[in-house]
Amino acid sequence: MLIRLGYVAMSTVVKNASPSKTMTATNFSKLLDREAAIRKLQRIGAENLHNTLRLLKHNRAHDIMVFRFSSRFIPLIGHEMLGDWDPIPSLSAEFEELGSYAKQNNMRVSFHPDHFTVLSTARKDVLQKSVEDLERHSAMLNAMGLGMEAMCNIHVGGSYGDKIKSAKRFVQSFTAMRMPIQQRITLENDDKTFNALETLEIAEEVGAPMVLDVHHHAVNNNGEDAVELWPRIQETWLKRARLNLDDASSSLPPKIHVSSPKGETEPRSHADYVEVGPLYNFLKAIAPITPKLDIMIEAKMKDSALFKLMEDLKEQEGVTALNEASLQL
C-alpha cells in the first residue's frame, strides 16, 4: 500500500505564513470609508493566498503532496454586512497562481468548510447560507483552475432530535444542489452525531466518497469495526473513479483523517501529535485490499506532527519510507 501524508492549512515550521489573517466584523464596521474597507479585506485575502503559496512551496520541498486549504482566505466573505460582494474575481491572479502550482506539482488539495455549513438543518435560512458557502468554496477552486479532484469535505450535520429525519433532509438538500457542487463533496463521520456507518450509508445513497476519520470513529460508534467497514468506504471512492469526471479525479485514492485524543478527560480533542500504534494497526489491516491511501493529519502541530509521524511509522515492521512524506506498507 502506497501512503501519502498531508496536513491542515497552517505550518508550525514556516514562520509568518498564516493563510487565514482576518478582520472582524466589528472592526470593519468602524471604518467610515466602505470602499477603502473592502479594499483592505481584499489585500488581506491576497496576503493569505500568497502565504498559502509559500506553504505549498514548503510542502513541495518536503515531498508533501496532500494539503487542506484554509476556508478563511478572504475575511468576511459571505457576511450579511457585505451583501453580494464577490471578491474572487479581483483576486483571480492570486487564485490562478496558487492552483497552477498545485497542478504542476500534482498536489492533492481540498477544503473543509466550517461547522456551520450543514445540509441536515430544517431551517431554510441556515440551509441557504450553507449552500452559498459550498458554492463559494467551489468558486475558489474554479478560480484556481482545479478540476473535480479538488474537493470539499463536510459532515452530515446535526440530528436536531431526530437523526432519521435529519438524514433524509441531508439527502434532499444534497441532491437539490447543482451537480458540480455535489461532485466536489466528500462526507466525513463526526465525533458526536453521525457515526461512520451512518455516514457511509448516506454517502452510498448520494454517491459521495466517504472520508473515514479514525479518531471520530473511536469516540462515536455503535460497536462497528472500522476495518470491517473499510471495503464499503473504499468502494465509494472506486465508484467515483468509475464516473470518470476528469483524469485527475478518476485516480484519487481514498482519504482518511487521523488524530489522537488529547487525553482521557478530553477524548474528542486533538493532541499535538499522532500516536502511531492505533494508526499502524489500522493501516496494516487494510493494506492487503488498499493499493493507495492518502492520510490527512489533524494534529495540532500540523506539519511538525507529520514529520514526527513519518519517523514513528518508519520504525514499524513492513514500512519503507519513500521520501519525507510517503511510505510503502
Q: What is the pLDDT of residues 38-59, one digit of tens each?
A: 999 999 999 999 999 999 999 9
Burial grade of 219 (CB within 10 A; 0-12, 13-18, 19 or more): middle
Give the count of beta carbons closer than 10 Å to the beta carbon of residue 35: 8
Beta bridge partners of residue 152, listed in sequence order: 111, 185
Average pLDDT over residues 61-70: 98
CA pair distance 72, 133, nearest whole angstrom: 11
Give the count of beta carbons closer than 10 Å to the beta carbon of residue 176: 11
pLDDT above 90 (res 251): no
Locate cell 475558489: which residue? 140
Average pLDDT over residues 28-46: 91
Average pLDDT over residues 195-222: 98
CA pair distance 210, 203, nearest whole angstrom: 6
Q: Look at strands 266-270 and 261-263 and give their pairing.
A: antiparallel
Locate cell 493532541: which residue? 271
Angle, helices 92-104/34-61, rounded to nearest 10 degrees: 10
User: Which pLDDT band, with edges at 50, 70 and 90, does 30 fall under?
Assistant: confident
Output the DSSP codes for 223-251. Answer: S--HHHHHHHHHHHHHHHHHH--SHHHHT
State percent of the chain over pLDDT 90. Answer: 91
Q: Which of 30-34, 59-63, 74-78 has the highest mean pLDDT?
A: 59-63
Average pLDDT over residues 243-268: 86
Residue at 320: amino acid letter: T
CA pair distance 211, 216, nearest whole angstrom: 11
Beta bridge partners of residue 211, listed in sequence order: 188
Could you give phi then psi for residue 132, rounded to 5 degrees? -60, -40
CA pair distance 317, 280, nearest whole angstrom: 10
Q: For residue 303, what is its C-alpha cell? A: 506539519
Q: What is the DSSP letter of 177?
A: S
Q: Using one digit for the tens of pLDDT, what is the confidence trace for 103-162?
A: 999 999 999 998 899 999 999 999 999 999 999 999 999 999 999 999 999 999 999 999
Q: What is the mean pLDDT of the chain?
A: 96
CA pair distance 46, 56, nearest whole angstrom: 15
User: Which pLDDT band, with edges at 50, 70 and 90, does 247 fall under?
Assistant: low
CA pair distance 324, 310, nearest whole angstrom: 7
pTM, 2 dp: 0.96
User: Which pLDDT band, with edges at 50, 70 and 90, does 32 fall under?
Assistant: confident
Closest CA to 75 of 119, 31, 123: 31
Q: Look at strands 320-321 and 326-328 and give their pairing.
A: antiparallel
Locate cell 492533492: which residue? 108
H or E element at residue 120 = none
User: Which pLDDT band, with edges at 50, 70 and 90, does 195 fall under?
Assistant: very high
Closest CA to 298 of 186, 188, 159: 188
Please compute Rg for the chain using Cα positions: 20
